[in-house]
Amino acid sequence: MSEPWATIYAETWDDLVRFLDRKVWDPERARDLAQETFVRALGADPPPERPRAWLFAVASNLARDEARSALRWRSRLRRVREEERERLETRTPDLALELRERRRAVREALATLSERDREVLLLWQAGLSYGEIAAASGLAEGAVGTTLSRARRRLVGAWTQREGGEETGAARG
Amino acid sequence: MPHVDEGRLTAWLDGALAPGDPVGAEIARHLETCADCRRRLEEARELRGQTEAILAAAEAPPGRAPGFARLAARAGSGPTPDGARGPRRRRRWSVPATGLAWAASVALAVSAGWLARDLSLRRGEGAAPFAGAPAVPEPGPPGPAVREEGREPKGEALEPPTDDIAVSAARQKERGTADAGEAPAARAAPEPSAMAAVAAESDPFHAPPDPEAGRAAGAPDATGCWERESGAEGRGLPERIRLAPAARSADGTQGAADAIRGREAQGLVSEAGGGVVAHWAGFGPDSVWIGGAGPETLRMRLEGDRLAGLSRARPGKDGSPEARADTERGAAAVPVAWRRVPCEP
């Protein structure tokens, strides 16, 4: 028996949102895209054989389109709402500020990775198996380990370098 | 054996090698004797832990997952008050970008406690292979599920749904990350209880199992055959549809999946004899969702022997923005309706 969509939905939602958030860097937008992804999944024809790999591949594309699109709908209102929400969730403005700061730092560190490395890393982080990562990214399964290894090394390198000095521009490693 | 290369070492560390994989055994043997590789393994493990900690630092709370039904709602309609028709603009309800998807598409699902097991067009020879099939509860999932299992020897993507809620944390372990304990504390642990609550909340996928008993008291019964009203707009929609109740399993989730898969497996054929289409289930206390292959969706209301259009969502050129705006305004009237007709034998 394979997983029903409802189950996949329940167990993948968090990971998918986080995955998307690390691409669009807007939690609310990430949730929207996650929903969109599931809506498409439910309408997929034929149904995907590897549902989770499929979900993340579609999410990835949506995030990419989003970045490309001239129709970015991050309105000011939206941004304000987002900040408001963040503030509420983290209770104190200080923490929200800190979270934003940390997010910025992570984003910069991730930006030093090649797109493929970053993708594979985020897919792993989202809980996908090597097989699923391969299916979602188009990489050969045998190459996932090497890619992941390189991505991790690079991310940690960029992060460490950033932490070490004020200069973050030199984080490319 | 030569030293283990980085990729394999990482795969081994990540538990990506199948239990019986000889490579895995070989690596294990090598590690016993090679301090160098053990050191590299430790380094890789540390890198992995650091990576996860770094990424966790960026984590914004994922927020509550909308109920499955709400997911349909998001795609299908906004907070249009029941009965309130939107402006009577006769707009085309298929935009060019998704018109084709619509043309080939329809899926229905119905309210409160029961599901459309099967929705088929009755028109066109061979077009509706399932039209006459009785909608009986079936123990196992139909086609796609089986196919999927067959193709996935490692079984990663198809762990049996032991529970209707699984959590990513659990998955993280199942995946083979053998060594727990190095998971960064910073990683926000998913909250199964919260998610279960969300999933259960007004979510018909978690409604009582029995198709009959599960139907909410007073909920309309939209099973049967429907014919589109003449004059009604709705280019591309099938003229006749059939809606049947769903099978449900004890936990209420598998049945839902079966219903969806069933429709997926069956597919629908457009009037023109065109392509197979999309299908997903939507629910509401008194509404029927029709979801196309694209993100567009219709919400229909059951009015006696009529299924009348309530609202719809139209996607933007590249995705959801406009759909959402549209939805939020509740601006879209849907001048489409089906009328109940006797099912042909």
Enter the tokens of residue B58.
Answer: 């960026």
Assess whether B18 and B135 both reside in one domain: no
Q: Find the residue in A nearest to B145 (Cα).
A: A2
Instruction: Report pLDDT digits (tens) over B282-341.
Output: 334 455 555 544 445 556 677 778 877 766 555 444 433 233 323 333 334 456 677 888
Q: Mean of the pLDDT values across residues B226-253?
A: 51
Instruction: Give the range of the structural domain holding residue B36, as residue numbers without chain letter.
Output: 6-57
Q: Are residues B165 and A7, on separate chains, in Cβ contact within 8 Å?
A: yes
State residue B71's pLDDT score. 67
Which residues, 6+ apart, have CB-to-CB distance to B325 below 8 Å?
none
Confidence band of B12 (pLDDT split at 50, 70, 90):
confident
Residues of A in contact with B249 (CB under 8 A): none
Enter the tokens of residue B19.
Answer: 């239990």
Residues of B in contact with A17 (CB under 8 A): 62-63
Assess whether B220 and B94 both reside in one domain: yes
Q: Mean of the pLDDT values across residues A45-55?
A: 85
Q: Mean of the pLDDT values across residues A7-36?
A: 87
Q: What's the pTM value of the predicted model, to 2 decimals? A: 0.44
Q: Find the residue in A nearest to B108 (Cα).
A: A43
Confirm or reject contact between A155 and chain B (CB < 8 A): yes
Q: Which of A166-170, B166-170, B314-318 has the lowest mean pLDDT?
A: B166-170
Residues of B in contact with A156 (CB under 8 A): 47, 50-51, 54
pLDDT, mean over chain A:
79
Confidence band of A146 (pLDDT split at 50, 70, 90):
very high
- C-alpha distance from A46 to closest chain B C-alpha (Å): 7
Residues of A in contact with B47 (CB under 8 A): 149, 152-153, 156
Residues of A in contact with B261 (CB under 8 A): 4, 47
B39 domain-assigned:
yes
Which of A149, A159, A163, A168 to mutate to probe the B interface, most B CBs <10 Å?
A149
Q: Are residues A6 and B256, on separate chains, in Cβ contact within 8 Å?
A: yes
Residue B51 pLDDT greater than 70, yes or no: yes
Q: Which of B11, B59, B159 sits opposite A18 (nearest CB)?
A: B59
CA distances from B140 to A1, B151, B178, B257 (A): 7, 17, 32, 10
Assess whether B289 and B337 both reside in one domain: yes
Residue B115 pLDDT greater than 50, yes or no: no
Q: Which of B80-94, B169-183, B228-242 has the lowest mean pLDDT?
A: B80-94
State residue B147's pLDDT score. 29
Assess whether B13 and B123 both reside in one domain: no
Q: Mean of the pLDDT values across residues A63-92?
A: 56
State residue B111's pLDDT score. 24
Q: Mean of the pLDDT values across residues A98-110?
A: 85
Measured CA to CA, the distance from residue B277 to residue B267 in angstroms comes to 5
Assess whether B30 and B98 both reside in one domain: no
Q: Which of B62, B258, B276 sits opposite A18 (nearest CB)?
A: B62
Measured CA to CA, the distance from residue B106 to residue B227 in angstroms comes to 13
- C-alpha distance from A137 to closest chain B C-alpha (Å): 16
Residues of A in contact with B74 (CB under 8 A): 35, 39
Confirm or reject contact between A14 and chain B (CB < 8 A): yes
pLDDT, mean over chain B:
49
State residue B67's pLDDT score. 73
Assess whether B76 and B41 both reside in one domain: no
Q: Are residues B71 and A38, on separate chains, in Cβ contact within 8 Å?
A: yes
Q: Which of A44-48, B37-41, B129-133, B341-345 has the highest mean pLDDT?
A: B37-41
Assess whether B233 and B309 both reside in one domain: yes
State residue A69's pLDDT score. 53
Task: Compare B331 and B24 and report the one with higher pLDDT.
Answer: B24
State residue B241's pLDDT score. 63
Q: Are residues A21 and B160, on separate chains, in Cβ contact within 8 Å?
A: no
Q: Find the residue in A nearest to B139 (Cα).
A: A1
Q: Where are the domains of chain A?
A: 1-71, 75-111, 113-173
Q: Which of B54-68, B116-130, B159-173 has the highest mean pLDDT?
A: B54-68
Confidence band of A86 (pLDDT split at 50, 70, 90):
low
Confidence band of B214 (pLDDT split at 50, 70, 90):
very low
CA distances from B276 to B96, B265, B273, B279 (A): 19, 10, 9, 10
Residue B105 pLDDT greater than 60, yes or no: no
- C-alpha distance from B308 to closest chain A C-alpha (Å): 22
Which of B40, B50, B59, B152 to mutate to probe the A interface, most A CBs <10 Å?
B59
B186 domain-assigned:
no
Interface of A with B in 16-55 (CB under 8 A): 17-18, 21-22, 27, 30-33, 35-36, 38-40, 42-47, 49-53
Confidence band of B203 (pLDDT split at 50, 70, 90):
very low
Beta bridge partners of B241: B226
Assess whether B43 and B123 both reside in one domain: no
Q: Mean of the pLDDT values across residues B158-165?
A: 34
Q: How many separate domains does chain B show?
A: 2
B94 domain-assigned:
yes
Q: Which of A13, A144, A153 sits opposite B47 (nearest CB)?
A: A153
Confidence band of B22 (pLDDT split at 50, 70, 90):
confident
Task: Compare B180 and A155 and report the one with higher pLDDT.
Answer: A155
Q: Are residues B61 and A6, on separate chains, in Cβ contact within 8 Å?
A: no
Assess whether B272 and B245 both reside in one domain: yes
Residue A111 pLDDT greater than 90, yes or no: yes
B197 domain-assigned:
no
Enter the tokens of residue B102.
Answer: 């619509």
CATH code for the domain defined by A1-71 = 1.10.1740
Q: Mean of the pLDDT values across residues B33-53?
A: 89
Last residue of a domain, one of B32, B57, B82: B57
State residue A63's pLDDT score. 86
Residue at B102: amino acid letter? W
Provide the 10 A C-beta neighbour count for residue B24: 17
Residues of A in contact with B71 (CB under 8 A): 9, 35, 38-39, 42
Instruction: Report pLDDT digits (tens) over B259-272.
Output: 332 232 222 323 33
Q: Are residues A149 and B44, on separate chains, in Cβ contact within 8 Å?
A: yes
Which residues, 6+ apart, have CB-to-CB distance to A137 below 8 Å?
A57, A116, A119, A120, A123
Assess whether B10 and B91 both reside in one domain: no
State residue B180's pLDDT score. 38
The ipTM (two decimal places) reads: 0.73
Assess whether B120 and B223 both reside in one domain: yes
